[in-house]
């Protein structure tokens, strides 16, 4: 592993894909949309990038939510999980000593805890602000922030801040 990842046990990439089936299979393999995909399977894979964690592949009915396909537990300790928006309900990852990287929805407005990269020159203060407060001032193509992003069902440990 690279020097930057030496403190992590593994890097795990997680994703799902939907495979449409013949509509006569809808009773056994119900899809997410009755008008477009009445029958489908969802293939979910959790692949270890460094080979330190067992790779898992699951095949379930297409209407099953991605967030229900991964159980978070002690196995995530010291691992980084890479996943897409469908998995963002995993507030337990940090509680079990794990980390994750995911993109945010374009309308997300996370609270910036700190910048993870120091820039020379005319950098702006971002710590303690919401992304919407600084977005128009950002000039760099890549920003690396530690943020607090919540879901509508998560508890807010930051007190008076609204989710």
| pLDDT, greater one: 30 or 87 | 30
Contact by Cβ (8 Å): 138, 148: no
Question: CA–CA separation, 72 vs 54, rounded Å?
Answer: 15
CA 134 vs CA 22, 41, 75, 129, 149: distances in Å = 49, 42, 36, 8, 16
Residue 89 has pLDDT above 80, yes or no: no
Phi-psi region of 22 (alpha: psi -120 to 50; beta: other; left: phi over 0): beta
Question: Who wins on pLDDT, 67 or 141?
Answer: 67
Residue % of the chain over a pLDDT of 90: 39
Which pairing describes strands 99-101 and 30-33: parallel, antiparallel, or unpaired? Answer: unpaired
Evaluate if residue 77 carries a pLDDT over 80: yes
How confident is residue 41, by pLDDT bands cut at 50, 70 and 90? very high
Q: In this predicted structure, what is the pLDDT of residue 26?
A: 93
Tokens, residue 135: 């977005």
Domains of the chain, earliest start first: 1-103 (3.30.420), 105-163 (no CATH)
d(CA 18, CA 42): 5
pTM: 0.73
């Amino acid at each position: 592993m690279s020097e930057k990842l030496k403190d992590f046990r593994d890097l795990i990439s997680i994703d799902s894909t939907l495979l449409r089936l013949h509509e006569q299979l809808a009773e056994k393999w119900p899809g997410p949309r009755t008008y477009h995909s009445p029958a489908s399977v969802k293939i979910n894979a959790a692949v270890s990038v460094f080979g330190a964690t067992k790779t898992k592949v699951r095949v379930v009915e297409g209407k099953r939510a991605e967030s229900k396909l991964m159980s978070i537990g002690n196995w995530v300790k010291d691992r980084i999980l890479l996943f897409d928006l469908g998995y963002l309900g995993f507030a337990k990852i940090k509680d079990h000593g794990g980390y994750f990287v995911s993109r945010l929805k374009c309308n997300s407005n996370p609270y910036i805890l700190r910048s993870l990269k120091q820039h020379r020159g005319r950098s702006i203060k971002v710590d303690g602000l919401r992304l919407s407060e600084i977005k128009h001032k950002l000039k760099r193509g890549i920003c690396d922030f530690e943020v607090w992003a919540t879901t509508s069902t998560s508890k807010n440990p930051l007190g008076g801040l609204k989710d």
